[in-house]
Amino acid sequence: MEKSFTYGGKRYLYTTNHPTSSYGMAVVVDSDGEPIGPGDMLIVDDGESMRVVFGAELYQYAMEVCDEESGR
């Protein structure tokens, strides 16, 4: 499973096809292929304001968006 999505103006990949993915668990990787951990802090710039979010928020968003697309 591999789906791309945009969050805060940046592209990410929600995938089970990554070396850091274990037991079929999906991980979020950035455009450089670096995995994002739930505790990682990210700067999100939507064009109007900048804010800091944790990777866990990115995972939550990825799960909602990618699961909706696959019709679950």
pLDDT tens digit string along 9-61?
A: 889 999 999 998 888 889 999 999 999 999 999 988 878 889 999 999 999 99
Name beta bridge partners: 11: 6
Answer yes or no: is pLDDT of 70 > 70: no
To the question of pTM greater than 0.85 for the whole model, the response is no
Give me the DSSP letters along 30-71: -TTSPEEPTT-EEEEE-SS-EEEEEHHHHHHHHHHHHHHHTT
